[in-house]
Amino acid sequence: MQINRMNTKRDKFPLSISKGSATVKIYRDRTKASGTYYRVCFYMGAKRHRLSCATLEEAKAEANAKVDALSRGDMDALQLTGKDRLVYSRALESLRPYGVALDAAAHEYGEAKKILEGFSVSDAARFYMRHHGRKVTSKRVSEAVEEMLTAKAEKGVSVKYLEDLRYRLRKFAGAFACNVGSIVPDDVRTYLGSLKLAARGHNNMLSTITTFLSFCAQRGWVSEDSDLLKGIDKRKEKSVPVEIFTPREMAALLNEASDELRPCLALGGFAGLRSEEILRLEWSDVERRPGFIEIAAAKAKTQARRLVPLADNLGSWLAESSQSSTGKLWPYSKPYFFETLRDTLDRINKKRAKGAAQFVWKNNALRHSYISYRLAEIQDVNRVALEAGNSPRMIFQHYRELCTPADAKTWFSLSPVASPIILRMKASR
């Protein structure tokens, strides 16, 4: 563009502003009423157009805009003045890289605003790119769940953990018949709320969903930048007191248990094995290392091998078992294990005196009892933690001062032949 003027301090009129073959001129005029003003003159075809401006700066701005429009052949822009022309020019400039007509862009924007019901179009676009954009491929939630379960099984996770994942994730997939990338935080929040879980159940489900979404992000089914758990927090869990059996309660369980169940109860109470570990245990695990019970990594909840001391009284209970010394220690199904345990409790309660309190099962009490009595017996948190497959912090926090050394001595003296409590109960049958 070229502006024909004599110098920057004193303009010679008319001023000519040119670009290509287009030329716009500025004239200076004066009236008695308003004083000096400026006229911007240009031709569209054979018709001459004039605009009046109060100042030279305004006239030059108008002239530059008109000469740009004339050089582009943009007749529409020539019909606009002032702020409208500026808005129009900016809109065209923004759309030029994409080759979209202004009216088409306006129509699409209006439709988007109607769908979004007040939300920002830019925010919607950013959300879409996070969930469906570059490097994100479509995958149905149900398909993603099955692929994750297969991957976890191939990795060799514990059977219990795999069962837990299968139960929680298939339930999750049943609620989301869509692609993983279509899920939004409100969907997850609503789903968790619909389950009406207690704090621990809520936290466990949230942890499972977190693991699942992380797996999906690694596979490229959802953007790594998306946060589908935004605003969903863990709930504060109430502290549940640790419950243990008294020696007399343990004696009652052992006396009334069937020959198949009794070794399992003894392993829980005198070695601290978890129920899942007991159900996986084989007689060879008891006999392989004299004086110890070997819990292989594949049979342990923590996937870490450990050796548990074989207490003298536990050895007696195992030795008196009439079962075969090969194969699994509990040779039946898991449901039958708990059914047999319920039958044992029923037999105990039927023998209770009329009006006496019923014998009630305490959650995880066999393992809790072993840890509590063992800690009272040897006063060594780290050693008990190794034997139980727990952290020293967990042992110190939950199991200290639950019983005395004298209680521990009575507990570990419970045996088929040496326990006064056992003998009295057997005699009373």
**What are 400-418's pLDDT values in tens digits?**
767 899 999 999 999 887 5
pLDDT at site 130 = 60
pLDDT of residue 75: 58
Q: What is the pTM of this model?
A: 0.54
Q: What is the pLDDT of residue 138?
A: 85
303-313 residue pLDDT tens: 778 889 999 99
Cα of 60 vs its chain's centroid, Å: 61
| Domain definitions of the chain by residue range | 2-79, 141-219, 247-427
Mean pLDDT score, 413-424 = 64
In whole angstroms, what is the distance from residue 365 CA to residue 367 CA? 5
For the segment 281-299, the average pLDDT, to the nearest whole number, is 86
State mean pLDDT over 74-96: 67
Q: Which own/partner pairs from 400-408 qualify as long-range (CB within 8 Å, at least 24 positions apart)?
A: 400/375, 402/242, 402/244, 402/372, 402/376, 403/244, 403/372, 403/373, 403/376, 404/376, 405/376, 405/377, 407/247, 407/373, 407/376, 408/373, 408/374, 408/376, 408/377
Fold observed for domain 247-427: hpI Integrase; Chain A (1.10.443)
Check pLDDT > 90 for residue 340.
Answer: yes
Confidence band of 426 (pLDDT split at 50, 70, 90)? very low
Residue 133 reports pLDDT greater than 70: no
Q: Give every CB contact of residue 184 below 8 A, 6+ residues apart in sequence.
A: 127, 228
Q: Write down the mean pLDDT value for the chain.
A: 83
Tell whether the model's pLDDT for residue 127 goes beyond 80. Answer: no
Tell me the pLDDT tens digit for each residue of 14-60.
899 888 778 889 999 888 777 888 999 988 767 788 888 889 998 89
Q: State residue 3's pLDDT score.
A: 44
The single residue listed with the structure tokens 């007191």 is: 241
Please give the average per-residue pLDDT across 361-372, as a whole number.
91
> If we measure between CA atoms, which residue out of 274, 265, 259, 262 comes closest to residue 245?
265
Q: Look at 350 and 110; give whichever has higher pLDDT.
A: 350
pLDDT confidence of residue 420:
45
For the segment 237-253, the average pLDDT, to the nearest whole number, is 87
Residue 107: pLDDT band (50, 70, 90) is confident
**CATH 3.30.70 applies to domain 141-219:** no
Written as one letter, the residue type at 41 is C
- Biggest CA–CA distance in the chain, Å, is 132
* pLDDT band with cut points at 50, 70 and 90 for residue 392: confident
In the predicted structure, residue 395 carries a pLDDT above the cut 70: yes
Report the pLDDT value the prediction gives residue 79, as an integer from 0 to 100.
57
Q: What is the mean pLDDT of residues 231-259?
A: 87
Residue 174: per-residue pLDDT: 94
